[in-house]
Amino acid sequence: MRGLTFQGTHDVRVEDVPDPTIEQPGDAIVRVTLAGICGSDLHIYNAGEAFGFAPGSRLGHEFIGTVEAVGPEVAGIAVGDRVMSSCSVACGECTWCREGLASSCVKWSLFGWAPRVWAHGGAVQGGQSELVRVPLAGSTLHPMPEALSGADREMSLLPLVDVMSTGWHGLTSAGAAPGQSVVVIGDGAVGLAGVHGARAKGAVRIICLGHHADRLATATALGATLTISSRDDDEIKEAVMEHTGGEGAHVVIDSISGPGSMASAHACVRPGGTIACLGMDHFMGKTPSVNWFDQFLRNISVTGGLVPGKRYFPELLGLVESGALDPAPMLSHTITLDEAADGYRLMADRAEGVTKVALGGDTGLRDRLEAAGQGHLARALDDLEGGARERLRAEVEALDLGLIRRLVDGLVGDDDHGVAGEIAPPDPASVIALPRGPEDEERDRRARDAGESLLREGGVAAVLLAGGQGTRLGFDGPKGLFPFAPLTGRTLFAHHAAKIAALRARYGGGLPWYVLTSPANDGPTRAAFEENDHYGLAPESVRLVVQGTLPAVDAGSGEILRDAPDHLALSPDGHGGLLSALAASGALDEMSREGIRTIFTFQVDNPSSATTSSPGRTWPRSSCARSRPRRRWASSRAWMGAPGSWSTATCPTSSHGRWTRAGSSSTGRGRSPSTASRSSSRGASPRAVCACPTTTPSRRCRISTRRAEGWSPTPRTP
């Protein structure tokens, strides 16, 4: 069989190695379908001889696969079972195993490590191989739940073997609890696991410290509410204190555990908080130094340690099955076993875009694609080479194949449902007519009162869909950065932020603002919010959440389509993915804890949106000082007049300007900027149409007719 071996410093090779056999009654043989390269494997890669590794030593301790053979004393595991292996061997019976500390088992051994820590006969077994002999299989292996045993779920399960369990161990040891603040030092796989685990445990402020923009973006997708790239402890402390209301973190996860990271941990932790050390820098002679003076005076606890085997597998599998946890995004690359040496180099060099590499490669990926009915993509990968192959493979690996399979089975090519183009349209939404009499006005009053009451109670969250680019506006960048206001150049983001601020001031409620971005525009959007001081809003009251994407599929076959040989036809999952994005980011749990009962959603390119919410319904409401109800907008021609040329006009707010007629001191004030005017080709007086944020198409501002009479905008004098 083929297996990865250590040959010397920076030299690992896949070679032919002996097939494993059952050597002891408790052994099992597992065919590996997916294995991981761990950060600790890089210590071997960089200095293996110092740890006692001889040339030819087998490597790897993270693997999952299928049982091919079992010894006569193996209980609870059978041939054909899909299993996850603990990264270490343990008996399950000794004092330490019974107390949940399998890492101190009297028969403990570590896969893929030096012979001095292998106590089960024969050659040291490494998980980065086609086959592995697993001693004490009944207590070392863990069957996958049937719902998660498919090849399409492997990417979500492999991280549980070590890095996710390690992050969870640190959080659990430190007592992480709902509502707390957590700082994670390091943006490698263990750090990302700490971020993702903190969200699953209910932390509301999760801060990730790192120096790689791509990994910090992944941290945000996995639940971080703030990322910090500074290396200066004073700057780090200032940012953490600002994000935590001046208190610091209840829990600090140090995934590096060197002198510098420990100093940062002390800068971030609050009095009575806990630092969990999970890194291995001390193995390389970089021993962290606890600030015992600070520890004593501020009652700081220090915990952490080696992951205790498969102790957390049942809990973590339950979270994955429920959808509360999915660590797959931390696996940035999947390559073949024969390419393992390249994977080590990529991780050791910290190449851009590389976080953690999985081995199983196109064999494992092919199995997942075939299981999901997308085998044509595996064949497409075979036809590509070099960078084109890597680009397509990265996109394919990012797909939620299980979700796509369920959608295809339910909506495409099924006689019970018809193809996508034949799906019956939904019933039309109910229409709320404009007030026509006292009864309607009373209805609107009750709705307004209910909505305003919710706002005052802090029971409303505003969710802005802002994943689009400004391409159709002739603008190169996120649509929210488009300077839509003709007089002030105000951007859509600034405009919406001003509305949020005004509602908070008016009603006194919290009104948290969630901005949903897309993978394409998340980075520039975050940078804009940072550069503009969150547009005057408190940073902790604004949360950016990345929405997912879904591929286009063939309406007949359900096969995923490509728009180029090396590129899938992908689109943001839009309104349909809104709730899943909020759930995956932990935002829904956060809302629940904060008493949010109503979510108001609006789109970034609709600056005229404004509502007062009541439970179960959204009600349009006009609050423009110069607006008044009009008859229903019967048609665009009746409202706008005959076809003609368009020009831009603005209904200014009191903070941006006023309309002044030439030679007159008269003024009129409306609300936020936006929209369009037109002049008739038949010589009629041009009329500007106001689209104040709270004015509906059938309401207009009297100011809107004045430009035709010689009115012009002038700056407002404070």
Mean pLDDT of the 204-231 span: 93
* Residues 275-288, mean pLDDT to the nearest whole number: 83
How far is Cα 180 from Cα 199, in angstroms, rounded to an integer?
Answer: 10
Question: Rounded to whole angstroms, what are the CA distances from 591 to 170, 228, 585, 586, 710?
Answer: 26, 24, 11, 9, 50
Q: Are residues 177 and 393 in contact, defined by beta-carbon separation less than 8 angstroms?
A: no
Answer yes or no: is pLDDT of 321 > 90.
yes
Query: What pLDDT does 706 receive?
Result: 32
Residue 361 above 80 pLDDT?
no
Q: What percent of the chain has pLDDT over 70?
A: 82
> Is 299 a residue whose pLDDT tops 70?
yes
The total of other beta-carbon atoms located within 10 Å of residue 88's CB is 22
191 compared with 523, residue with greater pLDDT: 191
- The SS3 call for residue 659 is strand
| CA–CA distance, 16 with 5 (Å, rounded to integer) | 10
pLDDT in tens, 467-513: 888 888 888 899 999 999 888 899 999 999 999 999 999 998 789 99
Cα separation of 475 and 479, whole Å? 8
Res. 81 pLDDT band, cuts 50 70 90: very high
Q: Report the pLDDT value the prediction gives residue 413, as an integer from 0 to 100.
A: 56
Q: 126 versus 592: which is more confidently predicted?
A: 126
Long-range pairs, 575-580, Cβ under 8 A, ≥24: 575/465, 575/601, 577/547, 577/548, 577/550, 578/463, 578/465, 578/516, 578/547, 580/548
DSSP H helical ranges for 458-599: 492-507, 522-531, 578-584, 587-593
What is the rounded distance in angstroms from the CA atom of residue 143 to the CA atom of residue 163?
19
Query: Which ranges in 211-360 belong to alpha helices (H)?
Result: 213-221, 233-243, 259-268, 292-298, 313-322, 340-348
- Range of weakest confidence among 120-134, 356-370, 448-462: 356-370
Q: Counting beta carbons within 10 angstroms of the beta carbon of residue 301, is it exposed (0 to 12), middle (13 to 18) or buried (19 or more)?
A: middle
Strand partners, 478: 469
Determine the Cα–Cα distance for residues 296 and 301; give it in Å rounded to an integer.
9
Average pLDDT over the chain, rounded to an integer: 81
Burial grade of 631 (CB within 10 A; 0-12, 13-18, 19 or more): exposed
Tell me the average pLDDT across 520-532: 91
Among 519, 510, 516, 518, smallest CA distance to 582 is for 516
User: Is the pLDDT at 352 greater than 80, yes or no?
Assistant: yes
**Of 68-77, 102-111, 471-480, the least confident:** 471-480
pTM (predicted TM-score) = 0.61
Count of beta carbons in the 10 Å neighbourhood of residue 209: 30
∠ Cα 328 329 333 (to 5°): 90
Place of tokens 């610091």: 248
Q: Is the pLDDT score of 150 beyond 90? A: no
Structure confidence at residue 249 (pLDDT): 98
If one compares 420 and 42, the residue with the highest pLDDT of the two is 42
pLDDT for residue 641 is more than 70? no
Contact between residue 610 and residue 621 where contact means Cβ atoms under 8 Å apart: yes
Q: What is the mean pLDDT of residues 392-417?
A: 75
Confidence of residue 425 (pLDDT cuts 50, 70, 90): low
On the question of pLDDT at 692 being above 60, the answer is: no
Q: Which of the 8 DSSP states describes residue 117?
A: G
Confidence (pLDDT) at 51: 86
258 vs 691: which has the higher pLDDT: 258
pLDDT category at 23 given cuts 50, 70, 90 is very high
Residue 459 has pLDDT above 80, yes or no: yes
Better-predicted residue by pLDDT, 635 or 491 = 491
**CA angle centred on 342, ends 341 and 347, rounded to 5°:** 100
Residue 91 to residues 62, 159, 160, Cα–Cα distance (Å)? 18, 23, 20
Is pLDDT of 183 > 80?
yes
**More confident of the two residues 213 and 415:** 213
| Cα within 13 Å of Cα(204), Cβ side | 18
- From the list 92, 8, 119, the residue with the least C-alpha distance to 57 is 8
Give mean pLDDT, residues 341-354. Answer: 90
Question: pLDDT for 642-683, tens place per residue?
Answer: 233 222 223 333 233 322 223 333 333 333 223 332 233 333
Lowest-confidence region among 106-115, 237-246, 277-286, 618-627: 618-627
Torsion of CA 584, 168, 327, 40, to 10 degrees: 150
Provide the b/e sequence for 90-109 (b: ≥16 CB within 10 Å).
bbeebebbeeebbbbbebbb
Q: Is the pLDDT of residue 686 over 90?
A: no
CA-CA distance, 434 to 470, in Å (whole number)?
A: 33
Evaluate if residue 424 carries a pLDDT over 70: no
pLDDT band at 386 (very low <50, low <70, confident <90, very high): confident
Residue 568: per-residue pLDDT: 92
